[in-house]
Structure 1
Amino acid sequence: MKASGIIVEYNPFHNGHLHHLQQSRLKTNSEVMIAVMSGNFLQRGEPALVDKWTRTKMALLAGVDLVIELPYAFATAQASDFAKGAIFLLDALKCKSFCFGSEEGSLKAFLHTYDLLLENKADYNTAISTFMKKGVSYPKALNEAYKLISTDVTLPLVDLSKPNNILGYHYIEAAKTLNTEIQPETIQRVIANYHDEAKTSETIASATGIRKVLFDDGDLTGVQPFLPLTSFEALMEWQNTANSFGSWERFYPLLRFIILRHTKESLAQFAEVTEGMENAIWNAATTSITFQSFMEKIKSKRFTWTRIQRMLTHIFTEFTWKQLKETELPTYIRPLGMNKKGQAYLQSIKKDLELPLVSRVAASKENKLLQLDIKAANLYYLGLQSSFGQQMVGSDFRIAPIRM
């Protein structure tokens, strides 16, 4: 069976994701679609709206054949490491191709951009350093440096100011750097861009827009037009069971407790906390009652909102610089769910896998990366501040991969 991969968060699974899944299957002519999905914390440094099991169920009901968890250390990393972990797992699963959504929609533009940056690597890095010394954020420095080296280029290039284009570039970079044979494909995002607010006249909205509607309105009826029925029903079931959705506002009391139980100095040990941000974070936690007011006190031109949220995620889970530096590549494959086709595919490649397949967490409890996933899951459930969340602590040891 020919398999193709997609890299996802599904926060939550919406109509745009369904379009991407269906078009990816057609474009790659694949029998099996494998999703590498982030767990309970996401690349933008946020807790997921609903847990990984609910999002796995959404994916399977929509047509994904196999869902694999992207370990916490990669799921919450900067774009290049996020991409590296995901592509490594898809390659390990013998995928022939992967397909990503992008604002660009042209694979040639991505390949031209990769070649340009590779050929001008020294000048590019020098320009990045120059811009950062002027006090701009890292993403802005990247974009300004890119503009400099691409000024006289006539070939089509990718706009690297767009979030999905950035991820797409890093997927291709990872595939080439890891020396894989997995082939990239891309499809163009339709109607809604990453940060766009949801429009009631459309049936496709970004996950960001959908979450904003949900949190602003306080109920699910406003997001129903943007979701497959199976996703809407899964969210209804979650709401009725968990009584709360994951967000930093919901998690803030526990985050605040964790910050203040440390000293300013000890906060600096956590991944991505740098350049004195430990002082700003600790000081803001002593006076801020809400997450929004907390963030407004510590935001700066130097660090993007996303970068600060990733710092907070690592403080919340107590993931240190030392652990980050020890993390190179995923060390296991953990299925979260599969249908019959996905199960048959996994069985067919099982003997050829070079990474251990972890279906029972208890049997692999010594794996350091897996321990991070378990810890992150437990803290996620505590952050929900509900009886359901309390009951779900330790669930990674009790829940087997979903089979449909």
Structure 2
Amino acid sequence: MKAVGVIVEYNPFHNGHAFHLRASKEASKADIVIAAMSGNFLQRGEPALVSKWYRTRMALMNGADLVFELPYGFAVQHAQNFANGAVSMLTAVGCDFLCFGSESGEIDSFFKTIHFLQTQQKTYNDNIKRLIDTGVSYPKAASLAFHQLPSSGQFLDLAKPNNILGFHYIKAILDQNSSITPLTITRKNANYHDEHFASETIASATSIRKAIFSSEKHDVDVGQYVPPQTKQLLNEYYHQYGLFHRWENYWRFLQYRLLQTTPEQLREIYEVEEGLENRLIAAALEASSFLEFMEKLKTKRYTWTRLQRVCVHILTNATKTEMTRFSDKASYLRLLGMSTAGKEYLNRQKKLLGLPLVSKLSAYKQEDILLDVKATRIYNMAIPFAQTKNLLQQEYSHPPIYLAEKDR
């Protein structure tokens, strides 16, 4: 059985994601699709709209065959580490292909750009350092530094978010000597960060979340932009828990953490650097909401995304020491869900897996997974107390979701 891998968040799963899954199978001629999916906190430093279990169901109902959790230590990270963790997982589970969406849509442009940068590495790094010293954020500095290189206009546009991720996916494949063959398809209709609906059926996850949160009762109809299964599961989650997760649900917990922590202790948290600890505490003393806090905190040097990631790490007390273990490769495969075809593939592949397979947390004791446990506990604190206890226990006892073919 041939397998194509995808690296995803599904926050929430929408029509563009469904197109990506179909196109990935068609382009690779694979038998199954394997997803490396972020857990309850995401790469841009946000809580997922609904839990990883609900997003796993969305994925399985719409064409994914195996869903593995990308560990917190890679999921809430900058693009390079995010890619390293996801690619190492897809390699370990035996994927033949990795298919990602990009603004480019041309796989050769990624390889040419990587080779070009290798020949210009010192100049590129010097340009980045010089630009950062002027107060520019790292992502902006990296993009500007690239465009200052001679002949850079002939290569990939590294100012585009999906191109950046794709660049790091392919670089991870090369760095890890993975046997995965990368493929890319052109991102359809909506751009990654679009906040408004751009077509009648395709919209970015950002615009879908914005529409949901703009309705007081969260009953806004986004049905034309998401598969019926997603709409059903979103309604079910809200009916059961009374909320969709967003940063404001965690503001008082974050404020408490900041106001009871010393600057010295904050400096031990991952990504807290260059005196940021003092700005964090000062902003927490004055802000009455997460949005106000972020507006007080934001500077040219720090992107909104990076600051949100810092806030997640403060919530979970993810220290620099803990997070250093997550720069290279994943150390386990946490199975969240499978289809009938996925189960068959896993049975065939089980003895060939490159990493330990974790199907139930209570049977696995490795230290690295404790960050995932902490993240889930914090994520569930937004939910009414009466249901929190069951959810905390569920993290240890929840078996992988199995979706038979008749239920897809």
**TM-score class, shorter:** over 0.9
Structure 1 partner of 2:222: 223
State the partner residue of 1:358: 358
The letter for the 2-side match of 1:297 is K
Corresponding residue for residue 39 of structure 1 = 39
DSSP 3-state at the match of 1:293 = helix
Deviations 1:313-371 (A, max 9, x none): 10010000011123342111111000110011011010111311111111112x12211
TM-score, normalising length: structure 2: 0.96
Amino acid at match of 1:138: Y
Name stretches of at least 5 consecutive residues in structure 2 with no aligned partner: 404-408
Q: CA shift at 1:388, angstroms? A: 3.0
Where in structure 2 are the equivalents of 1:4-403 lying within 5 Å?
4-149=4-149, 151-153=150-152, 155=154, 157-199=155-197, 201-218=199-216, 219-327=218-326, 328-365=328-365, 367-385=366-384, 387-403=386-402
Q: Distance in 1 between the 2:181 and 2:331 partners?
A: 22
Paired amino acid for 1:258: R
Structure 1 residues 212 and 389: alpha-carbon distance in aligned structure 2, compared to 1, 3 A threshold: farther
Kindly indicate whether the alpha-carbon contact (under 8 Å) linking 1:39 and 1:69 is maintained by their aligned counterparts in 2.
yes
Describe the superposition over 1:78-118 as per-residue Cα deviations: whole angstroms up to 9, x where unpaired.
10000000000000011111000111111111111111111
Which secondary structure state, in structure 1, belongs to the residue aligned with residue 13 of structure 2? Answer: coil
Amino acid at match of 1:73: G
In the alignment, the residues of structure 2 paired with residue 326 and residue 23 of structure 1 have an alpha-carbon distance, to the nearest angstrom, of 34
- The CA deviation at 1:199 is 2.2
TM-score after normalising by structure 1: 0.97
Alpha carbons 1:241, 1:388 under 8 Å: kept: no
State which drifts further: 260-269 or 171-180. Answer: 260-269
**Could you tell me whether the CA contact under 8 Å between 1:74 and 1:85 is conserved in 2?**
yes
For residues 172-196 of structure 1, give each alpha carbon's deviation from its aligned partner in whole angstroms, at most 9, with x where no partner exists.
Answer: 0000011111110000111100111
* Cα distance change of structure 1 residues 315 and 385 upon mapping to structure 2, 3 Å threshold: farther
Question: 1:200 deviation in Å?
Answer: 7.4
Counterpart amino acid of 2:134? Answer: K
Secondary structure, aligned partner of 2:381: helix
Residues in 1 aligned to 2:119 and 2:90: alpha-carbon distance in whole angstroms: 27
Are 2:37 and 2:67, in contact at CA under 8 Å, matched by a contact in 1?
A: yes
Quick one: which amino acid aligns to residue 177 of structure 2?
N
List alignment gaps of at least 5 residues for structure 1. Answer: none
- Give the counterpart letter for 2:60 in structure 1: L
Please tell me the residue identity of whatever aligns with 2:228: L
Q: Is the 8 A contact 1:244 1:386 kept in 2?
A: no
Cα offset for 1:154? Answer: 6.8
CA RMSD of aligned residues (A): 1.3
Query: Does the CA contact (< 8 Å) of 1:382 and 1:393 recur in 2?
Result: no
Equivalent pairs counted in the alignment come to 401
Q: Which moved more, 1:179-188 or 1:326-335?
A: 326-335
Change (3 A) 1:204 1:386: farther
Distance 2:129 2:199 in 1: 44
- Seen in structure 2, the aligned counterparts of structure 1 residues 46 and 153 have a Cα distance that, compared at 3 Å, is closer
Q: Bigger shift: 193-202 or 354-363?
A: 193-202
Identity of aligned residues (%): 45
Residue 387 of structure 1: how far off its partner (Å): 3.4
Change (3 A) 1:140 1:146: same
Could you say if the C-alpha distance between residues 393 and 323 of structure 1 is closer, same or farther in structure 2, counting changes exceeding 3 Å? Answer: same
User: Hey, what's the Cα distance between the residues in 2 that align with 1:201 and 1:176?
Assistant: 36
3-state SS, counterpart of residue 335 of structure 1: strand
How far the C-alpha of 1:197 sits from its partner, in A, is 2.3
Amino acid in structure 1 at the alignment position of 2:268: Q
CA distance in 1 between partners of 2:153 and 2:370 (Å): 49
Which has the larger displacement, 192-201 or 384-393? 384-393
Give the Cα–Cα distance (whole angstroms) in 1 for the partners of residues 337 and 15 of structure 2.
21
Output the amino acid matched with 2:171: E
Are the counterparts in 2 of residues 65 and 338 from structure 1 also a CA contact under 8 Å?
yes
Kindly state the Cα deviation for residue 386 of structure 1 after the two structures are TM-superposed. Answer: 5.1
